[in-house]
Chains A and B, each alone.
Chain A
Amino acid sequence: MNTQPDNTSLDKATSLRLRQLAAAPVDTTRLETMLQASLAAATAPQAQPRHRLTLRHWMRPIVSLAASLALAAVIITGLLLSGQNPVVASPIELTALHSQIVTGQLPVTRVSSMAQARDAIARQWAKGPELPSLQGLEVQSCCLTNVHGKLVAAVLLEVEGKAVTLIVADARDFVMPHGTVVQRNGRAIVTHQNAGLDMAMTRQGDRWLCVMGDLPVDTLVTLAANAF
């Protein structure tokens, strides 16, 4: 029979020391890139057999290089086109972007707060508009991409258990399409629906933003109105 107490002070001290290991930061950057690539391949209509999805060591530089090149292409395209005329913020293209982000088809940076998302975007797009400081929302990831050749920052949020995408861009780059205009907090919010997805767009100063997701349009309008 074991007569020793199962929770001695030494055990507690050891347990506490082990618990401290969980506080050390873990760099998931490379794993996130690998996973996004695997998820994108696994969601494609003709998914490859699993053994082809396993990224062995020799593939890592290729994946990293591909991710870097993709990001560089996005930024260069955005910069080249940023001086040109504004484009219509097409609900169809915005819906496609939301779908790509939610289904993991775009490489994203994992973040847990809007402040982290702001920092991550600012590192890649120093002259871009600042992300809004939405409070109390669960923030999951962010990325820099382009819509119709215009650079945009996208943030994936979880609101009421649903995936919501917030897109922020330079207001000079986008013209809002005609839609239903709602006044909220003295701000004009334009709403649209495409493929069953509602979206709310607005602008203030140099910022244009759009919030979209499978939520009641009134919730999206409120989010957009409070996003400055």
Chain B
Amino acid sequence: MPEQPLTPRQVERFHRLMWPWLADVLRVARYLTRHQADAEDLAQETMMKAARFIDQYRDETNAKAWLLTILRNTHISRGRREAKHAGLLPLEAAEMSPLAGAETASPGSAGGDEAWERGDDPQALLNRFEDQTVIDALKALPDEIRWTLLLVDVESLDQAQAAEVLEVPLGTIKSRAHRGRAMLRERLAEVARKRGWLA
């Protein structure tokens, strides 16, 4: 069934309230996809859904959190569609399975944090990594952990907003953020060792 055309009021509201977050949506989409073109497709689909559902948006809602919720749902739907097409298990289901260990791994279990704590200035060491290396490490994390770090740390949503976007309790966000940062450090520690920055 053809969709109803957008009204000028809807487009004006979309432009005024949602367009300012375009770069943020594209940035997060880039961290979820492999190629820039895929990120642009995902961001475009997200923004068009936002335009179509703009009447459901309430002014008191955090617009960025609202858009990121749509982005997440769109990303999951796409993953399911592609997995179904390829006859595979949906990506997020595979990543959240116990075999993946995403929710059960204990932080610093590989000794990563001990290595970091031996260093003089962990912040300075972390700042030595170029953005792309940090992004690669982030992309290698399980989906829900990556989402938590994207929302809480990269996009600076407060933890309660992140909990709403991801539809999980606040406590889950706190533990995922803590665990996710440790997992990220472990991955970066491997790079740091190869470069001779960590013993």
Contact = CB atoms under 8 A, between A and B. Distances in A.
Interface of A: 2, 4, 6-7, 9-11, 13-22, 24, 26, 28, 30-32, 34-35, 38-39, 42-50, 53-57, 60, 99, 102-104, 110, 112, 140-141, 156, 158, 161, 163
B19 A18 contact: no
Contacts of A141: 15, 19
Given A14-B181, A17-B126, A60 B22 contact: no
A19 B156 contact: yes
B113 A10 contact: yes
29 contacts: A4-B178, A6-B177, A10-B116, A10-B182, A11-B177, A11-B181, A16-B123, A17-B127, A19-B156, A21-B131, A21-B134, A22-B27, A24-B131, A26-B30, A31-B43, A35-B44, A39-B14, A46-B2, A47-B3, A47-B5, A54-B45, A57-B41, A60-B37, A102-B11, A102-B12, A112-B20, A140-B19, A140-B20, A141-B15
Given A6-B175, A103-B12, 6 more contacts: A11-B177, A15-B153, A21-B27, A24-B131, A103-B11, A163-B12
Contacts, number: 154
B88 interface: no
Interface string B26-53: 1100100000010011011101100110
A21 B51 CA distance: 27
A102 to B, nearest CB: 5
Nearest to B2: A49
B107 interface: yes
A16 B45 CA distance: 30
A36 to B, nearest CB: 10
Contact of A34 (B44, B51, B131): B44
A6 B6 CA distance: 46
B3 A18 contact: no
- Indicate the member of A10, A32, A45 with the most B CB atoms within 10 Å: A10
**Residue of B15, B23, B123 with most chain A CB atoms under a 10 A cut-off:** B15
A170 B191 CA distance: 58
B81 to A, nearest CB: 12
A210 B196 CA distance: 62
Interface in B103-147: 107, 113, 116-117, 122-123, 126-127, 129, 131, 134-135, 138
B11 A19 contact: no
The 8 closest A-B pairs by CB, nearest first: A18-B153, A14-B181, A17-B126, A26-B23, A13-B123, A47-B5, A103-B11, A13-B122
Nearest to A55: B44
Contacts of B126: 13-14, 16-17
A35 B26 CA distance: 12
A27 B47 CA distance: 16
A99 B7 CA distance: 11
Contacts of B22: 28, 31-32, 35, 110
B184 interface: yes
